Amino acid sequence: MSSITTDHLSATDDRAKRSSVKSRLTPNRRRRSVENDEYRGYVALLQGRHRAAVRGTTAALAAPGAHPVQIAYDTLQAAQAYAGLGDIREAKSLLHRASDLVTDAGEPPESLYWYTEPFLRMNIGLTQHAVGMHRDAVDSLTSGIDALPADQQNAEWLDEYQQALDYAEVARDGPPPSQD
């Protein structure tokens, strides 16, 4: 047997063992496991490693017992990763699914207290921008940012969303006219 086949079988066995272990975890440990997969996907997305982001978010989405807000966020993260891979059709499909989930998600659990409707709306805007829906992105990002509590309006973590809003506005409006 070639080393590629052996390595593939070994990796498959490892994934099966991890999946089996995850299914036996207590709810709190399962939640942390899902959050770890989700975080790995988030970091991979920030690093531009879109396939790794798809793997991380897919693993998080496959775990049973996740709260609807977590499923919505993971679905948006997967959509952004697919957009990064150039699969706009899949990205838009996931975006629409996530938008529906956000509408019905309810209040986040304490462990995900920041997964509020405004936060998810901003992530919808990031995803809309990634798939070229710039007008919608401007609307979602603006409404999400505006709905944040006053103490978060100048938070450092908001820079990512503000920058996306700035880019989406330029993409929506086109470049400024030349001054010839």
Helix/strand number for the chain, H first, E second: 8, 0
Burial of 123: CB neighbours in 10 Å, binned 0-12, 13-18, 19+: buried
CA-closest candidate to residue 75, choices 103, 113, 49, 33: 103
Q: Is the pLDDT of residue 124 over 90?
A: yes
Q: How far is CA 88 from CA 33, 45, 78, in A?
A: 29, 16, 12
pLDDT in tens, 16-59: 444 444 444 344 444 444 456 566 777 788 788 899 889 888 88
How far apart, in whole angstroms, are the C-alpha atoms of residue 22 and residue 111?
Answer: 19
Q: Is 58 inside any structural domain?
A: yes
At 47, give phi and psi (nearest 5°): -85, 0
The count of structural domains within the chain is 1
Write the Ramachandran bin of 175: left for phi over 0, alpha for psi from -120 to 50, otherwise beta: beta
Cα 16 from Cα 18, distance rounded (Å): 5
For the chain, percent of residues with pLDDT exceeding 70? 75
Whole-prediction pTM: 0.74
Q: What is the pLDDT of residues 53-84, one digit of tens each?
A: 898 888 888 888 888 999 999 999 999 999 99
Residue 180 lies in a domain: no
**Residue 130 scores a pLDDT above 90:** yes
Q: Is residue 179 assigned to a domain?
A: no
Structural domain includes residue 148 = yes
HSE of 155 in the Cβ direction (CA atoms, 13 Å)?
14
The boundaries of the domain holding residue 15 are: 3-173
- pLDDT, position 27: 46
Amino acid at 157: W
Domain containing residue 21: CATH number: 1.25.40.10
